[in-house]
Structure 1
Amino acid sequence: MENTSYIALSRQTALWRQLDVVSNNLANMNTNGYQAEQTLFSEYLMNTRDSHFRLPEKLAYTQDAGTYRDLTAGPLEHTGNPLDLAINGEGYFEVEDGAGPAYTRGGRFTLDAEGKVVTADGRPLMTDAGTPLVIAPNEGEVTISATGTVSTENGPVGKLRLVSFEDEQKLRRIGGGLFDSGDQQANPITEPRIEQGMIEKSNVNPVVEMTRMIQVQRSYEAANKLIESENDRQLNAYAVLSGTK
């Protein structure tokens, strides 16, 4: 296979990866606190066999450099549920994942049978004391201030732990809208801004993502046509040289 086909294949591989990312964004357009991902490509230059003898031309391949998250906050939606919480600004809620702390901006919480405030899949919401937030069975009025102090009709019961990170792009998705900090230290936010009865929606723009999907599909088809044309050219050239045409 000639260089033209290899270059086109490198482009197709990158486009396939981009299509997967766009599809995942669309699948999570209604996931609370979801931050859209974008692909990052780079140009990989390689010398041709004639680079040292004639024109210093290089072959340009497409290289998949990875993905990054769009850290723009999603729109806030009023729900009126006292256990729905949205972060107005930077930060992440800390929850207990069993294997250690995990972090999320998805603020839809509920009470489990033990009175713990938990995520939809049962992970406890943590306080700044390092313990799960618990609401007693006889306490029905839950108030959460903008700074994260949780109170009931019987008084304060704890303060939520909100954290930030030096490089949010290094957080690793672990599913369910959760992130693992890896080797980064979680830094407590001293002045959090929490909105009770609100939910941060996904920051995915479905119109933009659908437009991007169409562009990716068209680019993939164009690269495929280039490969087919190059293959036909090589077959014709071989036929001429072999005298069969």
Structure 2
Amino acid sequence: MKLLIAAVLGAAIAVPAAAQDKTQLRIGTEGAYPPFNYYDSDRNLIGFDVDIAKALCAEMNAECTFVAQDWDGIIPALRANKFDAIIASMSITAERDEVVDFTDKYYNTPPAIAVLKDSALTEATPEALEDIVMGAQSSTTHANYAEKHFADTELRRYGSPEEYKLDLASGRIDAAIDDVVVLSDWINSEDGACCKILATLKTDPEINGAGAGVAIREGDAELQGKFNDAIAAIRADGTYDEIQKKYFDFDVYGD
């Protein structure tokens, strides 16, 4: 009986000890950028970013929790230690690299422009778009892209993609710029039946960067290395492809 009690107590002690071996990480994401990160009907965070984050955490033997954060404040929140990493389709750019560190990319897709289905616009050139109003989410590479490449277009910035989608659908703006996957996902839904893709744009490396990566606080080389190893591992073992096929019928990893 004493041996049995000792064995039970030993097992009870071993479980918490094993749990304590796991790294505790808080992952920041936006929750308003389908199909990459958004809420389902039960208010659970889902999407490609979320599934990739879960796969990376599993590969790293980390216990991860998610923290939703508005896009405009997501980098300041990381720097203020509200969470440990951002996995929210954040493009790796030189400007952001001055205040956070990035891992290797985990996907890379180009920007695009959407318009109403009955729009008279037929091409996405600076000349064709100079007298229109274009919407973009603020503090994004897509807003920066429009500012640089469509300098004579009136640019209207929004706090979230849902806001510019509503204005485009109602005709309050003439076009919207965002990631081609985000716009395609929207126009293929009931809410986006109003609109179409006008054009997919050529990526500007200076603005769009080298793809989307995991952002971490500056100087955390250990965590950066663990994420990089995990990204390489899920790419190699097929986990990445399994997740990708849930959302896309093409390769979003890019060149």
Q: TM-score, normalised by structure 2?
A: 0.22
Q: TM-score, normalised by structure 1?
A: 0.23
